Amino acid sequence: MYDFKSETVEIQKKVRAFVKEHVDPIAMEVDATGELPLSILKSWKETGLICMVAPKEVGGPELDAVSCAVVMEELSYGCLGVATALGANNLCSFPVLIAGTPEQKKLHFGTLLEGNYGAFAMTEPCAGSDIGAISTTARKKGDEYVLNGTKCFITQGGLAAIYIVFASTDKSKGKKGLSAFIVERWREGISTGKVEDKMGIRASNTVELILQDVRVPASHLLGKEGDGMKLAMKALDSGRLMVAAQAVGVARRALDECVKFVKARVDNGKPLASQQAVSFKIADMVAAVEAGKQLVYRGAMLKDTCQPYSRHSAIAKLFCTEMAIRVARDAMEIMGVYGYTRETYVEKIWRDARILSIYEGTNQILRGVISRSLLR
């Protein structure tokens, strides 16, 4: 493990205290209802971490990548759904950090730091992994752009006060014609459609977002027309590191729940923990979690020191997410029927973990990213 700076250790302690006080008591309840109380966002704002990457110049904490990874790991240890909801403000902020003007940063980060959610609006019904297939359009009209289209699976989309919307400003150019815009929720023509009833991460809000003749000032364009693909890829490089950190937190929790169970369980008159088959399986789980940690914090260090990290981010996300799914599965199998019932936390962890290999770039896509970096 890497030695954390004293500031990062203090942040870790703060998040662990937040999870213990605010997340643990309601995790099972919000999983059942599918609704995260707004009081959680208010309490999260009080930690000063509501938008971890917000620059100090606009009143944010401006955490480095290592500290952000620590936050996401600890939140996910408590509940992956809560971590996904609270982490949405990071993903939607990366394009603004990369290409935003001082005025755009003030608008975007000011909205989030006031105590609001933001959302990253890219995915569409026919444009998931294929970003070039985005059909949402942004037509220039005078000193405004008019946006039309439908987005889907937008995290916190039904609750967000501000969006980063990806739309085509030139359909003839395919993915090279994509652009990114800051769009406030209050603008006329924005509505939400279907609210997804998900298998896991139920504490996070996932919706269809509809844009119908939504007018935004030309000054809300991030960078230049055609910069959308570049901004999306850079944002996802950062986001994938955070998903890998989430996976480590999920796997740690599954391991801890399993260890707690086997220490207390007696089978055929002998403690379950004394059985070699069980202890060897747990050893494999421990090794996998530790390997995942190394990948996450190595990647975060690469980013913080301005070294290339795109391929490493893909590797970390691929390994850690599949590791988390495997550890959750193994914990459930060791616990048997008890791990399969909703009375134990492992069942929830298994359902939550399954999304990790899907969102922010499916693992099949990442295999292509990794292999192309060597074979092209």
Active site residues: 360
Pairing of strands 270-271, 266-267: antiparallel
Residue 218 contacts residue 235 (beta carbons within 8 Å): no
Distance in Å from the first CA to the final CA of the chain: 33
> How many CB atoms lie under 10 A from the CB of residue 256?
14
Give residue for tokens 């002998």.
Answer: 270
> How far is CA 210 from its chain centroid?
22
Pairing of strands 178-184, 190-195: unpaired
User: Looking at this protein, which amino acid is placed at residue 319?
Assistant: F
Residue 83 contacts residue 31 (beta carbons within 8 Å): no
